[in-house]
């Protein structure tokens, strides 16, 4: 429900009021409103990999099996199970999708694989933890793999040695001369990068994209539309600053 809400779906009660996307609201949903859903989703196919086969509802369903693990009381478990049943009925009624009986899912033919962990470090790769295995399988199939994490203590050089498909935030800040010395070259071959994830348009994140492109980067730059639009102005301004920096460094040397 939370993910659907983030994508633009709205869940209304019997009075037409928008419900908050929480478990307590599931049983009260009467209408699934789709007016704010991004139109691009109509042509988007999402493949999800699941390592369990629990159905949505019932004694073997999500609420009864997993809610107690998160501290759910018996009454809360029953409430969530009824709510998921209500949601499943509405999805079938309004979209024709019978999600209540689905057991697990398989993925094939994806354009992008997304994995993740709280902390990506040497242990992730050395002990074949799930994100490393997923990335390895994706690489074997020639599919880009993005890892989302809370912490990434490895240096860029170490990360590159482990064959990432994704590059993010490679510039370092500092005084003018120090930054120039650190950022004049990449510690890797740009031609070997398949994707760049641009989290936002700040120049310390986007400023070396032209240099990356010049170095032979052949892949895609992944960013939101807002970030893309902001970069049009920031990179143009950055080019002027770089010209000024070059004049300064030439003068100093």
- The whole-number pLDDT of residue 1 equals 80
Q: Is 20 helix (H, G, I), strand (E, B) or coil?
A: coil
By CB atoms closer than 10 A (0-12, 13-18, 19+), residue 87 is buried
Q: Is 128 helix (H, G, I), strand (E, B) or coil?
A: coil
Q: d(Cα 185, Cα 44) in Å, to the nearest integer?
A: 38
Q: Token pair for residue 111?
A: 């354009």
Q: d(Cα 240, Cα 67) in Å, to the nearest integer?
A: 56
- The whole-number pLDDT of residue 164 equals 46
Confidence (pTM): 0.44
Q: d(Cα 88, Cα 56) in Å, to the nearest integer?
A: 8
Pairing between strand 195-197 and 166-167? Answer: parallel
Q: d(Cα 47, Cα 34) in Å, to the nearest integer?
A: 21
Q: Which residue has the tokens 């499943």?
A: 88
- The whole-number pLDDT of residue 11 equals 94
**What are the structural domains of the chain?**
2-95 (3.90.1510.10), 113-252 (no CATH)
- The whole-number pLDDT of residue 28 equals 94
pLDDT by residue for the chain (253 residues), tens digit each?
888 888 889 999 999 999 998 888 999 999 999 888 888 888 888 776 665 677 888 888 888 887 887 778 899 999 999 999 999 999 888 888 887 776 642 223 466 777 766 666 666 666 567 777 777 777 777 777 777 665 555 554 555 455 444 445 444 445 556 555 655 666 667 787 777 878 788 877 788 888 888 888 888 888 888 888 888 888 888 788 778 877 877 877 6
- The whole-number pLDDT of residue 179 equals 58
- The whole-number pLDDT of residue 126 equals 61
- The whole-number pLDDT of residue 243 equals 82
Query: Is 119 in contact with 153 (CB distance < 8 Å)?
Result: yes
Query: Is 215 in contact with 190 (CB distance < 8 Å)?
Result: yes
- The whole-number pLDDT of residue 51 equals 59
């Amino acid at each position: 429900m939370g993910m659907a809400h983030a994508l633009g779906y709205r869940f209304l009660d019997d009075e037409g009021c928008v419900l908050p996307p929480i478990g307590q609201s599931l049983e009260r949903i009467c209408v699934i409103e789709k007016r704010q859903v991004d139109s691009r989703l109509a042509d988007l196919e999402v493949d999800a990999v699941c390592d369990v086969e629990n159905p949505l509802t019932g004694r073997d369903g999500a609420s009864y099996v997993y809610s107690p693990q998160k501290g759910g009381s018996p009454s809360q478990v029953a409430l969530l199970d009824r709510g998921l049943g209500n949601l499943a009925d509405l999805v079938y009624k309004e979209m024709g999708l019978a999600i209540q009986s689905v057991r697990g899912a398989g993925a094939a033919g994806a354009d992008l694989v997304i994995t993740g962990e709280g902390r990506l470090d040497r242990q992730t790769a050395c002990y074949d933890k799930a994100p490393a295995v997923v990335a390895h399988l994706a690489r074997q199939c020639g599919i880009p793999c993005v890892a989302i994490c809370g912490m990434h203590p490895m240096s860029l050089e170490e990360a590159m040695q482990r064959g990432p498909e994704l590059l993010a935030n490679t510039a370092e800040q500092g005084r003018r001369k120090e930054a120039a010395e650190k950022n004049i070259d990449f510690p890797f071959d740009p031609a070997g990068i398949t994707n760049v994830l641009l989290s936002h348009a700040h120049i310390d994140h986007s400023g070396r994209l032209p240099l990356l492109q010049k170095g032979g980067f052949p892949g895609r730059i992944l960013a939101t539309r807002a970030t893309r639009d902001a970069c049009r102005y920031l990179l143009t301004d950055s080019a002027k600053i770089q010209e000024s920096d070059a004049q300064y460094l030439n003068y100093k040397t």
